Amino acid sequence: MSFIETKYLTADPVEQIRCQQHASRTFVDDQFRLLPKNKFLFHVAFNINWPALSAKNINIKVLKTLKEEINLLVKSADLPGYTVSSEVLNQYNRKKVVQYQHKYNDVNILFHDDNMGLINQVWQAYYRYHYADPSVATAKGAYSKNATKASSAITSPYGYNGRVAPFFNYITIYQMARHEYVSYRLVNPIIVGWMGNKLEYSQNIAHNFDMKIAYEAVHYDTGFVDSGQMEGFGAVHYDWVPSPLTSEYPRNLSTSPTFSRSPGFSASTDNVAATNVVKTTATTAVNPTLYQNVATNTNGVNVPQTGSTATTATQTNTTTTVAPTTTPTGRSPGYANVI
């Protein structure tokens, strides 16, 4: 823009100087490739180590039956963060910054406290699995006043019970945009904090549970949402009815990553890769595996019965080839349409 006065720029009482093409070329081109992602497009999957848990615990049976619903009750989740430890050294009077370790920041996951108490049972199952206190709390004499007695008076186990097998195999956080996802898998996660909100009569708001997770590593991955690679996504309570909104623009999913190519490629001869057009047809049927009659009205918990009506979907994959594309005049070849 000009920084000195010019006679060719005049003020209009109605119109103002503007050019929407700047934002359009940045955020709309290439199917919104550089558009910021929305925070609400995410999914969290909890992979629980069922064989390691006690089959006698009735909570485990309920959780295993409704395991896909645990993912749906996540209200918010932090993405993994890192803190790098560094030190400034003196290299012949030159300041040299070196790094020697990094730390994984804890991840906070906020849950809705549902009326059934499903999330509460997740914590109870975890607590009973790793700690003996809740199991012996009702045992006779386990918490009697025996501080002045001999050690033989203590017959019950307390505290951490030394479980080796983990409760969670892993926890995966999926971030979605444009029918694609980026996943963050937390390796060997453990709960290092579990907090409930304050209960009070003066507020009419939903109650939440806040879980803090520590982990040992992070595994990254990418993929397409339509491919079914997102664990537990769309498994239950998902609306498979096609939207009445239609568009003449085809829904193409590229088999190549949606990142800008190197500036040296030839835009005039570049072909977009063959794509899979996914057509979804909704059907209503009884899914006997959605719910199993494992524990009905147990501990005041009603589990949906076998034969619940569920909506499933069938997919038909067809392959189409997009004609060669040419970069418009005046645009950088690195911004070619990639999907």
pLDDT tens across 7-42, in order? Answer: 666 666 665 556 677 778 888 888 888 889 999 999
Q: How far apart, in Å, are the Cα atoms of 117 and each of 25, 63, 124, 209?
A: 49, 11, 10, 11
Per-residue confidence (pLDDT) for residue 27, from 0 to 100 = 85
Which pLDDT value is given to residue 250? 57
Residues of the chain with pLDDT under 70: 1-19, 55-56, 141-142, 144, 146, 148-149, 151-155, 247-339
Say which amino acid occupies 277.
V
Per-residue pLDDT at 235? 86
Rounded (to 5) percent helix, strand, coil in the chain: 15, 30, 50
Write down the pLDDT at residue 33: 87
Residues 6+ apart with CB under 8 A from 43: 71, 173, 174, 176, 181, 230, 232, 233
What does the pLDDT look like over 230-280, one tens digit per residue?
999 988 888 888 888 876 655 554 544 444 433 333 333 333 333 333 343
Q: What is the pLDDT of residue 335?
A: 28
Determine contact, residues 243/210, Cβ cutoff 8 Å. no
What per-residue confidence (pLDDT) applies to 332?
A: 34
What DSSP letter does each residue of 196-239 carry, written as one string? Answer: EPPP-TT-----EEEEEEE-SEEEEEEEEGGGT-STTTTSSS--
Confidence (pLDDT) at 30: 83
End-to-end CA distance of the chain: 33
